[in-house]
């Protein structure tokens, strides 16, 4: 398959939308990371996502929609969902809610779970594509399964050329880590740390959030421990760098090969995380040592991704 790169202009969006409508795969930018999109109502198209990524079929996908109104046609909406959507959509928050019985979605999207993960992205090109296509778009991150997520079109091309029909290139993603995933059971539960800080959601719901346990397969089927894996080994919370290591720094550290944020800014660090991991991985160091990252705000998502990148691989 030839992979074409498209500009995020009217002509590019027209081609991307037509490809989606005919069952094709289109990688597109969101504010978090690039997504690998397909028509969420088309079984064959959704199956191609799993094939292109080498993703296990039991790991469900996030559906991207243009509005709360469309989300409500797919899931059983609640007051809490209303409050959170009003506060944070469009933006880097995914809500998991019970799937509506008559939803038009392919069963592959939810991996046959009774729930659906749905979000309204903020990126103007993602929004323009959703508007033009006019239906729900299933999109996991546009990387081979288990590898580092893509925050540029070049990252997507490096991992998936020949496996996707087109890549809409609109430069680097602003947020740089995937959306925060919140399960709206009777009590909301944080299923994945991400681009919307836990603290912001807690302020909106007026209570501390329960977080999911790593072994809870039922509520978070895709939270594999080893993920985002670079070729190199990872050594976390490194206060100094050993011989032969590359150092991914944060704040005022010496000898950093690359620094997530010399100023110690967590927003900047999140935006640089995958970009720097891709760049360091390309240098094939034996080990990537990483400075300690404060575990607050976006630091929680950064630490989650780093822990998975460092986890034992099988
Ligand atoms: O920022 C993002 O969320 C990006 C962009 C493209 O939107 N997408 C993304 O998708 O990160 P993906 O597939 O890489 O991660 C989605 C996660 C997986 O861990 C999956 O298991 C979980 O969402 N998920 C999907 N549906 C679920 C459900 N019904 N219940 C619980 N977890 C679900
Ligand atoms: Mg992913």
Q: What is the pLDDT of residue 314?
A: 64
33 lines ligand 1 (CB under 6 A): yes
With CA atoms as reference, report the closest residue to 301 among 266, 263, 277, 256: 266
Give the atom of ligand 1 at the shortest distance from the alpha carbon of 223.
Answer: 19
Q: How far is the CA of 182 from the centre of ligand 1 (A)?
A: 10
Domain boundary assignment for the chain: 4-211, 233-310
Average pLDDT taken over every residue of the chain: 94
Which ipTM was obtained for this model? 0.99
pLDDT tens by residue, 184-197: 998 899 999 999 99
Q: What confidence score (pLDDT) does residue 220 get?
A: 58
Query: E strands, 88-242, where?
Result: 93-98, 115-119, 137-138, 166-168, 180-184, 188-192, 210-211, 233-235
**Strand-pair category, 180-184 with 93-98:** parallel
Bond into 258 cis (ω within 30): no
Mean predicted confidence (pLDDT) in 123-130? 98
Please give the model's pTM, rounded to 2 decimal places: 0.95
pLDDT band at residue 219 using 50, 70 and 90 as cut-offs: low
Query: What are the tokens at 212?
Result: 């999911």
Long-range contacts of 239-244, Cβ-Cβ distance < 8 Å, separation of 24 or more: 239/291, 239/292, 241/289, 242/287, 242/289, 244/285, 244/286, 244/287
Q: Is the CB of 141 under 6 A from ligand 1?
A: yes
Taking CA atoms only, the protein residue closest to ligand 1 atom 17 is 222
Q: What is the pLDDT of residue 92?
A: 98
Which one of the ligands is nearest to 57 CA? 1
Report the pLDDT averaged over residues 294-306.
Answer: 97
Residue nearest to atom 24 of ligand 1 (CA): 60
Question: Which pair of tokens denotes residue 54?
Answer: 């080498």
Q: For residue range 37-83, list pLDDT tens digits in order.
A: 999 999 999 999 999 999 999 999 999 999 999 999 999 999 999 99
- Which pLDDT does position 157 carry in this prediction? 98
Task: Give the residue, out of 49, 55, 60, with the most ligand 1 atoms within 8 A of its beta carbon, to mutate for a pocket test.
Answer: 60
CATH superfamily of 4-211: DHBP synthase (3.90.870.10)
- Reported as a single tens digit per residue, the pLDDT across 247-266 is 999 999 999 999 999 999 99
64 is in an annotated binding site: yes
Distance separating alpha carbons of residues 279 and 281, to the nearest angstrom:
5
pLDDT for residue 217? 52
Angle between helices 198-205 and 79-88 (to 10 degrees): 130
């Amino acid at each position: 398959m030839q992979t074409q790169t498209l500009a995020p202009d009217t002509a590019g969006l027209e081609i991307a939308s037509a490809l989606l409508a005919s069952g094709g795969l289109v990688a597109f930018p969101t504010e978090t990371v690039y997504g690998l999109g397909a028509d969420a109502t088309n079984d064959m198209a959704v199956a191609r996502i799993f094939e292109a990524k080498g993703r296990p079929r039991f790991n469900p996908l996030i559906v991207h929609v243009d509005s709360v109104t469309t989300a409500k046609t797919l899931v059983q909406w609640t007051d809490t969902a209303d409050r959170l959507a009003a506060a944070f959509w469009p933006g880097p928050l995914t809500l998991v809610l019970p799937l509506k019985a008559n939803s038009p979605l392919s069963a592959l999207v939810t991996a046959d779970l009774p729930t659906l993960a749905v979000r309204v992205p903020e990126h103007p090109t993602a929004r323009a594509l959703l508007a033009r296509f006019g239906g729900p778009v299933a999109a996991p991150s546009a990387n081979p399964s288990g590898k580092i997520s893509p925050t540029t079109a070049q990252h997507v091309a490096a991992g998936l050329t020949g496996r996707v029909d087109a890549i809409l290139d609109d430069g680097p993603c602003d947020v740089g880590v995937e959306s925060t995933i919140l399960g709206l059971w009777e009590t909301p539960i944080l299923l994945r740390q991400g681009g919307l800080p836990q603290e912001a959601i807690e302020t909106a719901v007026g209570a501390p959030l329960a977080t999911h346990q790593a072994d809870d397969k039922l509520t978070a089927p895709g939270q594999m421990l080893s993920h985002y894996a670079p070729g190199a080994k990872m050594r976390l919370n490194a206060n100094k760098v050993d011989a032969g290591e590359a150092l991914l720094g944060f704040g005022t550290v010496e000898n950093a090969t690359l620094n997530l944020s010399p100023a110690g800014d967590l927003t900047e660090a999140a935006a640089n995380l995958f970009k720097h991991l891709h760049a360091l991985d390309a240098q094939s160091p034996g080990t990537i040592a990483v400075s300690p990252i404060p575990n607050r705000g976006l630091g929680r998502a950064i630490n989650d991704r780093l822990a998975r990148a460092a986890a034992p691989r099988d």
